[in-house]
Chains A and B, each alone.
Chain A
Amino acid sequence: MTVELALISLLNGISYGLLLFMLASGLTLIFSMMGVLNFAHASFYMLGAYFGYQLSQWIGFWPALVIAPFAVGTLGALVERWGLRRVHKWGHVPELLFTFGLSFIIVEIVQVIWGRPPVPNRLPAELEGPLFTIFSTNFPLSRAFIMMVAVLMLLGLWLVVTRTRIGLVIQAALSNPQQVEALGHNVPRVFMMVFGAGSALAALAGVIGGAVYVTEPAMASTAGAIIFVVIVVGGMGSLSGAFLASLLIGLIASFATVIDSTLLDGLSALGLSITPDTPLYSVWTLKLSQVAPVLPFLLLVLVLIVRPKGLLGTRED
């Protein structure tokens, strides 16, 4: 592996990791606040991508970048107000099942409106092309744009949570909702706003991610599984853990796809000889790039065995 490839993979990994974190941060906030694992979170990400695509067609990319998250956030708040709140009294499992059913419905509605094949969602011309060139490989402007938006968003989120009055109420409601309610704050409304804001963040990630990667009905389930891995690996309810895990998984994904070595190479370097007669020969000859899609899930299993509470988690379950 050359330095050039390593640098590019590093940058790609970071940009993918930051995109994952844009998704995982909203999910973690909602989870730690309401105790609800929002199964439909990735569906809001997908809705963001489709809204972004549709609005870009009508009014251009830049307004869509603002309006689509706003629209999805409103939708999320409505879902919380008229759906989740009704189910809340029946406990966490019905809540989880409600969001699961919702994700089911959203995928179907997306297919009703935009059809089953991917839509031609592209970034505007000013974001196409390379930002800079390392040796001979171009680093695309779009990846840098993802990084920039993610960092700005994180900064904004951090400022809101730590430096504003509403952020204080949110933090207080995180640890002791009854007490906050007793002090006269409308905690259900705070929940609604957090849920809406979380959905909006997911949609923002969707507008960008959908344009840079691909916008299709399957994107919700693909992204959904990965961000669940992120928040379990990072530790349930830990924002900094989610950050670490997002970057880790982003880097693993980007490095694994460019490495072609197999376990066979590693074992023969150790002096072991493996022939086609060896048991499980097909396992030893898999290329790392072929295994790339499973690596996040293997990481999940590994973390669960070695450190069940996650990287930076504090809760045992």
Chain B
Amino acid sequence: MAGKAKREAAGESRSGPVLRYRPINLGRWTVWGVAALLFVFMPLIFQSGYARSLLSQMGILIIFALSYNMLLGQSGMLSFGHAVYSGLGAYFAIHAMNRVGDGSLIWPITVLPLIGGLAGALFGIVLGYVTTKKAGTPFAMITLGLGELVFSCSLMFPAFFGGEGGISGNRTVGRPVLGIAGWTLGPQVQVYYLIVIWCFVCMAAMYAYTHTPLGRIANAVRDNPERAEFIGYNTQRVRWFVLILSAFFAGIAGGLSAINFEIVTAENVSAIRSGGVLLATFIGGVAFFFGPILGAVVFTMFAVALSEFTKAWQLYLGVFFVLLVMFTPGGLSSLILMNLRVLKFQKFKRLRDPYFGVILSALALAFGCVMLIEMTYHRTLDYSLGPQIQLFGFPFYTDHAESWVFAVSVLVGGALAFRYAWRRFKAVWGEIQVEIEDWIRDNPEAE
């Protein structure tokens, strides 16, 4: 990085044509190529309808979370109302879908996400003008207020929002995709590929955005708005432009969700959805471009897969989120990169045993917590179904004291073991980080 800047500076100072050296970025092409292959082959590996629907939802959330990270990670704007743009985009898309159905529009269904995106951007222009007047904490509160405003409106105008039942549509209407007879978007796998194409294009576009002047100045506005103002940028306008773009991509995600679910309800613009995308993005990590992608995958696992097993999934999600905020504010992506760095410096061997202890005791601790939570939940909600619950394949009786004593002792034992293991891990980890930092400082050219 530093070398490149030096080369460019040297090129600028000389007169005459600037020599540019741009080798093919092999790493980047590999990563994107692998991502594309994964996208294409995933539904062939996982053939069940459930898995494909899960994958489709991941694709939608990836776009949504990346668009959210354009605000949070890249411009420092913490929004609590981002679902407004995706939700309104979804509403516009589903209304357009119904127009296609009654013949007044002749667009193919495949371009509907674009309608959603344009609607999102339009609302980004209008609502964003108000919200981006402020930055930081006031911005967060204003987006929350606007989100509530739109949500309350959704129950007030049933003609557009469909009231409690929402608006439903039918994605198989209109002309077949590309004129090919079998492609009607009926089967889930066809919808999956539609989502994947949109997702890949949006990912590439959002990645490209990070290298544009706007993307760069957005980083400057995030890091030091005062300096950005001094070199002549209107920070408010930068925030506004970023928000419009972000709302555009959120709208695309909304349009895709309208196609995927064929129904849009007021829940799509609600604070629950806004909070969800915030959790997904932060869990993945806001500091790296790929963070939200990872977060979208993990969040969908929680929201769709875990919710099959337990009613308390939101509690687990919340606890997971708070633990991440407290211990690794960079999210999962920074956790992975830190470990990769240790691996790269070939010091991972020393961490193996401490890791083993930490993970084992954390599992015991988690098991105790999960058991207590599930048994309490069972007693308050489903007690009429009988006192027995199935947990990890074992039956537990919530009316026997033994179950509770067992849960509490696993919890306490796990906590004590974790405390010990964590201290040991932390010491070794800190030692290794210091060694790596020292090495980097002593070998500045090694990059």
Q: Does A221 contact B (CB under 8 A)?
A: yes
Pick from B55-63, B107-115, B195-203, B310-318 the stretch touching chain A. B310-318
Chain A interface, number of residues (Cβ within 8 angstroms)? 48
Q: At the interface, yes or no: B410 with Cβ under 8 Å from chain A?
A: no
Interface string of A198-236 (1 = CB under 8 A from B): 000000000000000000000001000100110110001
Asked if A297 lies at the interface with its beta carbon under 8 angstroms from chain B, I say yes
Q: Is B282 an interface residue (CB 8 A)?
A: yes
* Docked pose: A224 CA to B13 CA in angstroms: 57
Task: Chain A residues near B322: list those with CB within 8 A.
Answer: 83, 98, 101-102, 104-105
B263 contacts A by Cβ under 8 Å: no
Kindly state the separation between the CA atoms of A228 and B377 in the bound complex, as whole angstroms. Answer: 31
Interface-side segment among A52-60, A133-141, A299-307: A299-307
Among B136, B145, B319, B380, contact of A112 (Cβ-Cβ < 8 Å): B380
Q: Which residue of B lies closest to A31 (CB)?
A: B137
Selected contact of A317 from candidates B136, B146, B329, CB within 8 Å: B136
B83 to chain A, nearest CB (A): 14
Q: Is the CB of A90 within 8 A of B329?
A: yes
User: What separation, in Å, do the CA atoms of A304 and B143 have in the docked complex?
Assistant: 12
Do B152 and A293 touch (CB < 8 A)? yes
Within 8 A of A (CB), among B169-207: none
Are A297 and B146 touching (Cβ within 8 A)?
yes
| Dominant secondary structure at the B interface | helix
Asked if B326 contacts A83 (CB within 8 A), the reply is: yes
Residues of B near A305 (CB, < 8 A) are 130, 133
CB pair A297–B138 under 8 Å, yes or no, is no
| Distance in Å: Cβ of A90 to nearest Cβ of chain B | 5
Which residues on B sit within 8 Å (CB–CB) of A286? Answer: 156
- Restricting to B274-328, which residues have a CB under 8 Å from any CB of A? 275, 278-279, 282, 312, 314-315, 317-319, 321-322, 325-326
Interface residues as binary, A7-21 with B (CB distance below 8 Å gives 1, 0 otherwise): 000000000000000
Count A-B pairs with CB separation below 8 Å. Answer: 122
Instruction: Let me know if A290 is at the binding interface, CB within 8 A.
Output: yes
Which listed residue (A109, A116, A294) contacts B149, Cβ 8 A? A294
CA distance A87 to B321 in the complex (A): 13
Q: Is B159 an interface residue (CB 8 A)?
A: yes
Complex Cα–Cα for A108 and B136 (A)? 28
B278 touches A317 (CB 8 A): no
Chain A contacts for B312, CB-based, 8 A = 108, 112
Q: Contact check, A97 vs B282: say whether CB atoms are below 8 A apart.
A: yes
Residues of A within 8 A of B278 (CB): 97, 100
B401 at the A interface (CB under 8 A): no
Whether B318 and A105, one on each chain, are in contact in the complex, defined by CB atoms closer than 8 angstroms, is: yes
Which B residues from 310 to 357 make CB contacts under 8 A with A?
Answer: 312, 314-315, 317-319, 321-322, 325-326, 329
10 tightest CB-CB pairs across the interface, nearest first?
Answer: A297-B149, A108-B315, A104-B318, A101-B322, A105-B318, A101-B321, A228-B141, A225-B148, A294-B152, A300-B145
